[in-house]
Amino acid sequence: MDQVVAITGASSGIGAATARRLARAGAAVVLGARRTDRLGVLVDDIRAAGGRAEAVPTDVTNAADLQRLVQRAVTEYGKLDVLVSSAGIGPISRLSARRTDEWEAMIDVNLRGVLHGIDAALPVFGRQGRGHFVTIVSTAGLKILPTMAVYGGIKNAVRTILEGLRQESTDGTIKTTAISPGYVRTEFASTITDEEVLAGIQQGMDDFAIDPDAVARAIEFSIDQPWDVEIGELVIRPTRQG
């Protein structure tokens, strides 16, 4: 796989698993996250195994950070083939809890963060004549549940943006892929402040959540297609998830 892939949210979970898998397959990975200590360890591991990797401190709520991430890929490797937007938070709760600060945080990271990535990569993809956006969405946008109204609504907004971008790009220059994971063993629950909601999510994590590499395999499959084939949507969830 001779591709250059930038990944946000790369310090843990799906982002880190994707970085490891794509690097093993031969891709050069440019990794963005806020936790630079973890990024450094991940880059060292990939390089020690013979892979190509760079780390860029990245807060997706800061548009300039996404510009730097994309530019680093172009500077180091001469191009950017794929942007994987994996950064996300999930402080879910019932609307009646009125945790408005958490709503705003989800909008900033999960929605604006994706838009910042699209804005940063589009000029590069335009100059190259092609590029691929792979974005982590969620099954929470497919089946709306209590506590998931804001989170699921934001994920559906992202899904709509990707579909709009796809329809604006049927000249064959841009591909978009929305990956909707269910329960995955990540740090998703770490941002939940509602103790009752946290207990329920943690139970699901403990009982049947799948490994992040399951999602990484789906991402690898999506970007390893011939250019005239676009995998638009994939849902990856545990067999036991209701």
The model's pLDDT over 99-114, given as tens digits with 9 standing for 90+, comes to 999 999 999 999 999 9
77 is catalytic: no
Go through the domains of the chain in sequence order and give each one's CATH number: 4-182+211-228 (3.40.50.720)
> Catalytic: which of 103, 125, 133, 151?
151
- Could you give the CA distance from residue 212 to residue 94 in angstroms, rounded to a whole number? 27
Task: Judge whether residue 18 has pLDDT over 90.
Answer: yes
49 close to 43: Cβ distance less than 8 angstroms = no
State the Rg of the chain over Cα. Answer: 17
Q: Dihedral sign, CA of 130, 17, 212, 65?
A: negative
Closest listed residue to residue 8, CA positions, set 88, 63, 128, 77: 88
β-pairing verdict for 4-8 and 52-57: unpaired
133 close to 174: Cβ distance less than 8 angstroms = yes
* pLDDT digits 0-9 by tens, 109-142: 999 999 999 999 999 999 999 999 999 999 998 9
The predicted structure's pLDDT at residue 143: 87
91 close to 105: Cβ distance less than 8 angstroms = yes
Which two structure tokens, joined as six digits, stand for 27? 């891709």
Tell me the percentage of the chain whose pLDDT exceeds 70: 100
* pLDDT digits 0-9 by tens, 46-70: 999 999 999 999 999 999 999 999 9
Q: Which of 22-36, 65-79, 98-112, 180-194 has the lowest mean pLDDT?
A: 180-194
Secondary structure class of 215 (helix, strand, coil): helix
101 close to 47: Cβ distance less than 8 angstroms = no
- Could you give the CA distance from residue 81 to residue 10 in angstroms, rounded to a whole number? 17
Estimate to the nearest angstrom the gap between the alpha carbon of 100 and the chain centroid: 24
